Structure 1
Amino acid sequence: ERKVLVFDFGGGTLDVALLSIEDGIFEVLAVTGDTHLGGEDLDNRVVEHCLRDFAAKHPGSDLAAAPKSLHRLRRACIVAKHRLSTSAQARIDVDDILPGTDYSCVLSRARFEELNRDHFQRAVSYVGTCLHEAGVPAAEVHEVVLAGGSSRIPYVQGLLKEYFGGKELCASIDPETVVASGAAVQAAILTGEGSSQVQDLLLLDVTPLSIGLVTGDGVGLQGDGDSDDPGTFSVMIQRNTTIPTRREATFTTSCDNQPSVVIPIYEGEHPDVRNNHFLGRFRVDGIPPAPKGTPQIRVTFDIDANGILNVSAQDRSTGKSNQITVTNEEGRLSQAEIDRMVQEAE
């Protein structure tokens, strides 16, 4: 068994995942990230630096008020950022950035690192978060795989090496194409195409967010219009649970002689269900009159290997039941939205 950490630092987002690999089985142990941290944030810092430099060299000129000129400056800053991954310094040149005015400056790697040090440290801090959620110490990680253009930055690589006690980072995979390569392998597995070596691989994914239902007090299911109270988010499947998975629990009614129960399903990490994402709802009718807390409603959450969620509920006394299916395409959150919800809950 080998544990591999994937550090994906792209243009707009950061994603960190820890996997366990054994006998062709790839099991995702934990995922985390930041939807507001990526190469664009680094570019912004360089652009802001150049705007201050331009203002000092040309007092009274407002480059920020010229969108086209600002766009040209940003493109030059991005080119310089890329060069700084292999050079100690890079020139930023924009001819005629304003009528009759050229702009030129030299940006050193050290200055670039100073401008973005907090971003770099923040990015690497998510490695600790991911390992903590998986319950795996850094010393047990065998490989660190880089993905995304921003992972090429020497300062970022240095921080990662330091975090893992000087461990060399995986250099055999191109960070720019590794995601596309992985997607191609997974596509081959799903379609049955490709070599037998590919077909022998198995990916065990995890749930990116906790999934549960709404109750009145943790055990009582509400009926239609029973209360204006949004209810309690009762988690059935915890975040980072390996799929496929199945969870069952018994609930009851929240008021006397309740003829039906409504089961709203949400995903998210916030204790206030209104801040989580609604997936769907269904109801079970025909519950015999009884004091609240007496009926026994068995609820089952089942997620298959494709990430499709099936939720069913059955009244034990009558056998009456109902269910709902939520696919990955219908109303599910993007990875960026998932990361945002996790950050807000934390």
Structure 2
Amino acid sequence: MEPTVGQIRHDGVIHGRSARHYTESVIRGGYRLGIDFGTSTTVAMIQEPGRPVRPVHFDASPRLPSAVFLGVDGVLLTGEDAERAAPAHPAGFEAHPKRRVDDGTVWLSDHELGVVNLVAAVLDRAVAEAVRVTGTDPSEVVITCPEAWGPARRTILTRAAAHAGLDGALLVTEPVAAATYLVEVVGKALPAGRCLVVYDMGAGTCDVSVVRVTPSGFEVAASGGLDDVGGLDIDDVLVRHLRRAHPDPGWAQLDWPTTLEQRQARQALWRNVREAKEQLSRQVSADVFVPLVDRRLHLTRDELERLARPLLDRTVELTLATLRRAGIPPEDVGAVFPIGGSSRIPLVATLLHRALGVPATAVDDPQLVVAHGGLLHRRVTLTAVDLTIVEGRSDIAEPHDPFGLLDEDGTPMPPSYVPPRPRPSLDPPPHVVVARHLLPTERRRGEWRRHWVHVAGSAVVGAASIPAGIAATAWALGSTGWLITVAVAWFSVLSQTAYRFNEWSRTWLCLTDQRLMLVEGGRNHRSVSLALDRITEIEYEQRRLGQILGYGVLIVEADGRHHQLRRLAHLPNIRELHLRITEQVYQPHAVAARLLEP
């Protein structure tokens, strides 16, 4: 008898349903299943012939918590079952397997389990519920994934699908699925030459993609993401606010629970805060019961928006930066589509409207959009063609085109036709200061000028010197010596300010596929480089002011030696910059594959 995903054999590996069983059931099944594996929740949708697409319900909810729990008895639980079991044995609980996708393995209840197995357990639960309500296995399974996921992460997902008995599952990227939903379900027509901005704010991340409509389907022109901004981060801000506004000894037990009762209270607190946040998306106020503190605290929508504003401002900055990378001005945006549970916050639509001048398109349940759109995306588009890798075998999913694509001369294209995918553009052409230092054989990955706070002090001094100089000049008019002294001093201050601004505007940090380079092109020309293969550790620091203004310090260690690029202060968008450099250092092949480089 084949073991199920809920069982562990003596080798500590979770084994999924037999792939042969799934293959045979495909012949019998008559519906398609779409799965959106999310950080906090997973959604599954069923598409049956002649019937509307409908969600799969897990414990009376269309949202399955993505949590997993491994008990001492070796049984792996998922969803609400996992959350209920977690307080009694925290060591066996993983709330967000998607956040561990890069870790390879996870320790649960003294067992070292592959992340593949945790993801497989969640996928298997989604399929099992679909089979329970339909009475048969699906004929086809579509799984969505973030656009930014490279081959390594997509391999984890396809291997997890294989462990769950879903050999041959089709991968569709989340922004393409969302664009399909917007066009086919909402009925939104994009004007010619306009683009769609998909703003996906889920529990753990915020991803923004710019999608173009092409004759062959949808094409993602550019995408970007923030791994530290999501619904969970807003929940954390609300909890901190409640703790500051209502101090009580009970908070210490909620922060560091040691008993079963305290762990259950902590879990209830975070659930209550999340539900209050969702209520504030519909109403102007909500109450939060804080266990152990034993008080019902009041929250208003104004408080939520004030506390969440710094995080949401960063997502708007990400949206504008993604448009710049795609080379698309805001006036060419034809639609803005917020999806994900946290996109329900009214301030999200307001900020996007202000920044882009286009009202956001709202739907009843933005958490169901991606799984639903993945099912409707029957054509294999430029971004949906992907490698399906199962147990060391790779092949390209066979494209099919029920909509009847026509060539330029009106000739029907063959079913296996997949248009060539153009190489996406990363950024505008390099600054002239950077361009003169680039080698013909290297590829630029990005360039950054220091944040304006780097020259804020000089700007303040320069601005203050203007009224001070005018006042001093008026005072010194009766004395030629004092007048000359004031003029020289004033000129020196303004010259120093101008010099600092010139140096700042012509100093760039550049990342290529071979090195990290600091280029100075002001009065003194200088270039300092560090080969990427020498880098051993990358980290960043961001203090409170830096979090508010959007800058930080990048720290680069190389072979244990001292070098001039070790500490780079006042760099903008430090988290995004850190992630881009880290990926280039540790996963250069994934970057090249995503950019379709040879």
Alignment TM-score > 0.5, same fold: yes
Partner of 1:141: 333
Tell me, in whole angstroms, the C-alpha distance in 1 between the residues paired with 2:279 and 2:222: 33
Residue 79 of structure 1: aligned partner: 275
Tell me whether 1:157 sits opposite 2:353 in the alignment.
no
Q: Among 187, 191, 196, which residue is 2:403 paired with?
A: 196
Indicate if the aligned counterparts of 2:442 and 2:513 stay in contact, CA closer than 8 A: no
- Distance of aligned partners of 1:61 and 1:74 in 2 relative to their CA distance in 1, 3 Å threshold: closer
What is the match of residue 579 of structure 2? 341
Separation (CA, whole Å) in 1 of partners of 2:298 and 2:200:
29
Pairing partner for 1:132 from 312, 324, 337: 324
Q: Who is 1:40 aligned against?
A: 232
Inter-partner Cα distance in structure 1 for 2:534 and 2:336: 34
Amino acid at match of 1:342: R
Residue in structure 1 matched with residue 142 of structure 2 by the alignment: none
| 2:359 corresponding residue in structure 1 | 168
Which of the numbers 252, 256, 259 marks the counterpart of 1:62? 252
Unaligned residue ranges in structure 2 (runs of 5+): 1-191, 381-396, 406-414, 428-437, 447-511, 518-530, 537-574, 585-598
2: CA distance, partners of 1:81 / 1:153:
8
Taking the aligned partners of 1:144 and 1:152, their CA distance within structure 2 comes to 14
Greater fraction strand: 1
Q: What's 2:304 paired with?
A: 112
The answer to whether the Cα contact below 8 Å between 1:269 and 1:276 also exists between their aligned partners in 2 is no
Q: CA deviation at 1:208?
A: 9.8
1:136: Cα distance to partner? Answer: 1.1
1:202, CA displacement in angstroms?
Answer: 7.0
| Distance apart, 1:149 and its partner CA | 1.0
Q: Aligned to 1:177, what secondary structure does the other structure show?
A: helix
Find the counterpart in structure 2 of residue 274 from structure 1.
Answer: 533
Give the counterpart letter for 1:89 in structure 2: S
Q: Which residue of 2 aligns with 1:14?
A: 206
- Structure 1 pair 128–209 and aligned structure 2 pair: CA distance change class (3 A): closer
Q: CA deviation at 1:122?
A: 0.9
Matched letter for residue 235 of structure 1: R
Which residue, out of 360, 363, 371, partners 1:180? 371
Kindly provide the amino acid, as one letter, of the partner of residue 215 in structure 2: D
Tell me if the contact between 1:120 and 1:156 (Cα under 8 Å) persists in the aligned partners: yes
Cα separation, 2, equivalents of 1:65 and 1:196: 57
Letter of the aligned partner of 1:175 in structure 2?
A: P
CA distance in 1, matches of 2:273, 2:420: 39
1:16 touches 1:33 (CA, 8 Å); kept in 2?
yes
In structure 2, do the counterparts of structure 1 residues 62 and 25 end up closer, same or farther at CA, with 3 Å as the change threshold?
closer
Q: Kindly provide the amino acid, as one letter, of the partner of residue 18 in structure 1.
A: V
Total equivalences in the alignment = 234
Distance in structure 1 (CA, Å) of the matches to 2:252 and 2:275: 23
Query: RCO greater where, 1 or 2, for CA within 8 Å and sep 6 or more?
Result: 1
Q: Could you report, residue by residue, the CA deviation over 1:267-325 in whole angstroms, capped at 9, with x for unpaired residues?
A: 69955423889xxxxxxxxxxxxxxxxxxxxxxxxxxxxxxxxxxxxxxxxxxxxxxxx
Taking the aligned partners of 1:187 and 1:268, their CA distance within structure 2 comes to: 40
* Aligned-residue RMSD, C-alpha: 3.9
Q: Deviations over 1:49-81 (max 9, x none)?
A: 2222342xx358634233512222111100101
2: CA distance between counterparts of 1:161 and 1:207?
26
Which residue type is aligned with residue 241 of structure 2? H
Greater percentage in helix = 2
User: 8 Å contact 2:378–2:401 — kept in the other structure?
Assistant: no
Amino acid at match of 1:196: F
2:286 matched to which residue of 1? 90
Query: C-alpha displacement at 1:177, in angstroms?
Result: 1.9
In structure 2, give the amino acid aligned to 1:120: L
Unmatched 5+ stretches in structure 1: 211-216, 220-232, 240-265, 278-336
Check conservation: 1:91, 1:107, Cα contact below 8 A: yes
Distance 2:361 2:425 in 1: 26
Amino acid across the alignment from 1:75: R
TM-score by length of 2: 0.34
Q: Which has the larger radius of gyration?
A: 2
SS in structure 2 at match of 1:11:
coil
Structure 1 residue 204: deviation in Å? 4.7
The amino acid of 2:352's aligned partner reads L
Q: Distance in 1 between matches of 2:200 and 2:366?
A: 8
Letter in 1 for 2:330: A
1:106 Cα deviation from its structure 2 partner: 1.0
The two structures have a TM-score, normalised by structure 1, of 0.57
Cα distance, 1:172–1:46 mapped onto 2, change above 3 Å: closer
